[in-house]
Amino acid sequence: MRKRMEAISSHPDYATLVAECEGQVAGMIGLRLAFGYEHDGHVVQITALVVKASFRGRGAGKELIRHAENWAREKRAAAIVLTSGNRPEREAAHRFYRHMGFSVTGLRFWKKL
């Protein structure tokens, strides 16, 4: 993880934001700026979003998304996107994403190489 974070943090098209609450790390969001194939300009992809269970429902996730959106605007991105697993345990996260203004637009496929 240290090696990954060193590579990510040294690249200007990536950002890692951390939410702190009551002196503890409450969550984090990982962002990547990318060119879009579907339209002109850039998009920001949320590549990781985690909020510690004991802090869920207390605004940490909302603040992380808001800061991610601000970072995307600073980078002049046209949109912000994310993918999420299609499993029953992800239903609460999906409700949260919809509440934050995200729309479901596709289905992700993945193949390990």
pLDDT in tens, 25-62: 999 999 999 998 877 889 999 999 999 999 999 999 99
pLDDT digits (tens, 9 = 90+) for 70-113: 999 999 999 999 988 888 889 999 999 999 999 998 877 878 89
pLDDT digits (tens, 9 = 90+) for 61-73: 999 999 999 999 9
In one-letter notation, the amino acid at residue 113 is L
CA distance 51 to 103: 21
Tokens of 16: 């890692």
List the domains of the chain with CATH numbers.
Answer: 2-99 (3.40.630.30)
